[in-house]
């Protein structure tokens, strides 16, 4: 287990959580959820690093969670919910998709999904610290 690699993924994921909070406060809900996706992706990759597993170049949270072996059902998070959060990865999307995502990510929608993102993030972090 390479502690430096784990620490890098953890630190970067924590920065993404902080930026997500800032984006929410500023009313940029689409970017808030994008940052949550990045935070969860990176903490899952920290978990893989702790398990001495290869870290794939993928963004799919469902696939990453499968690789970690973490059972999100224990906290009431489904594969469909992980898939929804994966959809927040808007970085390389076409403008029409980004616009549709922007319209979808109202304050009300974001208020529903932030607690789910926080639950996933904290659950993975606890598994790393266990």
- Angle of helix 79-86 relative to helix 61-68, nearest 10 degrees? 130
Would you say residue 88 has pLDDT above 70? yes
pLDDT of residue 93: 61
30 pLDDT higher than 90: yes
Q: What is the pTM of this model?
A: 0.94
Position 99 confidence tier, pLDDT thresholds 50, 70, 90 = confident
Within 8 A by CB and 6+ apart from 13, the residues are 38, 39, 40, 41, 42, 43, 46, 121
- Residue 90: predicted pLDDT: 76
| pLDDT per residue as tens digits for the range 109-124 | 999 999 999 999 999 9
Percentages of the chain per state (helix, strand, coil), in multiples of 5:
75, 0, 25
| Percent of the chain's residues with pLDDT above 90 | 85
Mean pLDDT, residues 37-63: 96
Distance in Å from the first CA to the final CA of the chain: 15
State how far the alpha carbon of 55 is from the alpha carbons of 9, 30, 110, 117, in Å.
Answer: 11, 27, 29, 21
| pLDDT at 28 (0 to 100) | 96
Do 30 and 59 meet the contact criterion of CB atoms below 8 Å apart? no
Instruction: Determine the average pLDDT of the residues in 75-94.
Output: 87
How far apart are the C-alpha atoms of 56 and 43, rounded to whole Å? 13
> Which range is least confidently modeled, 2-6, 35-39, 61-65?
2-6
CB-neighbour burial class of residue 3 (10 A; exposed 0-12, middle 13-18, buried 19+): exposed
Segment 43-68 mean pLDDT: 96
pLDDT bucket at 97, cuts 50 / 70 / 90: confident
**Domain segments of the chain: what residues?**
3-129
CATH topology for 3-129 is 1.20.120
Cα 124 from Cα 52, distance rounded (Å): 16
């Amino acid at each position: 287990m390479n502690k430096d690699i784990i620490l890098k993924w953890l630190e970067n994921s924590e920065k993404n959580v902080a930026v997500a909070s800032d984006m929410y406060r500023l009313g940029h809900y689409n970017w808030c959820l994008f940052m949550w996706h990045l935070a969860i992706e990176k903490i899952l990759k920290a978990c893989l690093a702790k398990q001495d597993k290869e870290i794939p170049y993928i963004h799919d949270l469902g696939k990453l969670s499968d690789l970690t072996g973490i059972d999100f059902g224990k906290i009431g998070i489904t594969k469909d919910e992980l898939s929804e959060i994966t959809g927040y990865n808007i970085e390389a999307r076409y403008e029409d998709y980004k616009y549709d995502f922007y319209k979808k990510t109202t304050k009300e929608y974001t208020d529903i999904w932030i607690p789910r993102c926080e639950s996933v993030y904290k659950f993975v972090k606890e598994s790393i610290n266990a």
